[in-house]
Amino acid sequence: MPAQMNEACTINIRQLIKNPALTLGMSQKDVGKYKNVAAAYGNVAPVIVSSPVNGGYLILTGSARVEACAQTGYGEIPAVMSRACDGAGQLKLSLMMSAIRDETSALSEGALINRLVNEYGVTPRELVNLLGKSKAWVSKRLTLDQNLSETVKKMVTDGTLYPRSAEEVAKLPMDAQAEFAANAVNCGLNKTEIGLLVAGYRNTYSSAVRDKIIKSPLEALSKLGERIKKRPAAGAGLNGPGRKLGSAANYASQMVLKAVNMAENADEEAQRAAGEQLCRLRDITAETVMTLNRLLADVSPGKQVGELAW
């Protein structure tokens, strides 16, 4: 943005208007850091605000700094007033500053993206180009804002649950998220383990299995591990056909999960470079599902591949 469109100034804290999206991702830990700076050195870091509306200035970046100064007793704070032309421009600026400085959380980024997409009609493609992020990054941030329950959002804000783990939790029904997330955190589960449990929940119609995953995730995870490893039947040798087949299936499962995880976290350039191979993987997995459903129909009557029953 051209320099002549901005103005350095000092603003009374009472004139500042809180930005709900930024406040969502503001933690007391962040406020505490800025309080230490403000107490020792004063107001050394300006905030960015919008041009005045009815005498008030909307905070575009720096919510934690404003709160820290207010708690430290400062009545004024240095600011840069950005004359963004409209509401969408202001939100874009907040989002870009968030991505550059990493001052706000994934939740704040999700809230900003949600407003841009649904209130201002900004396309995800435009945000990808604006931020230099992948489509998967934009989609995951949007999912956090739209699909995550308020209780789990608070767990992310206070650092109890990592954002990447929350991305997996957001795939569960909203009424099941809080209990599952709390139990998963108590068990010390990581993002990969949480993802496996969420996938297990979504791939079964058994209420007993789903209840076990929500209430006893560690026990459920051990059962998922037993199911994936497929112990050989009694009498089968270490090099028997069943053991070899099970090992091959387990290895293939791990490689598919690894490839999918890498694709989800890759940028757009990498996704394009591997596009042909990813399409081939998609086609092979689709054919694999049909083939295994047919082969396992007699082995496990009434159950499809991926269906869990404990």
- Tens of pLDDT, residue by residue over 71-95, are 888 888 888 888 766 788 888 888 8
- Separation between Cα atoms, residue 67 and residue 61, nearest integer Å: 12
Architecture of domain 3-147: Alpha-Beta Complex (3.90)
Give the residue with greater pLDDT, 195 vs 45. 195
> Residue 2 pLDDT more than 60?
no
Q: Measure the CA–CA gap between 277 and 221, rounded to whole angstroms.
A: 31
Q: What is the pLDDT of residues 199-214, one digit of tens each?
A: 999 998 899 999 999 9
Helices (H), the chain: 20-24, 28-41, 63-72, 87-101, 106-119, 124-131, 135-147, 150-157, 163-169, 174-186, 191-202, 207-215, 217-229, 241-265, 268-273, 275-295
| Domain boundaries, given as residue ranges, for the chain | 3-147, 150-229, 249-305
Is the confidence at residue 306, as pLDDT, over 60?
no
Token representation of residue 1:
């943005």
pTM above 0.85, yes or no: no
Q: What confidence tier does 173 reach under pLDDT thresholds 50, 70, 90?
A: very high
Is pLDDT of 66 > 50? yes
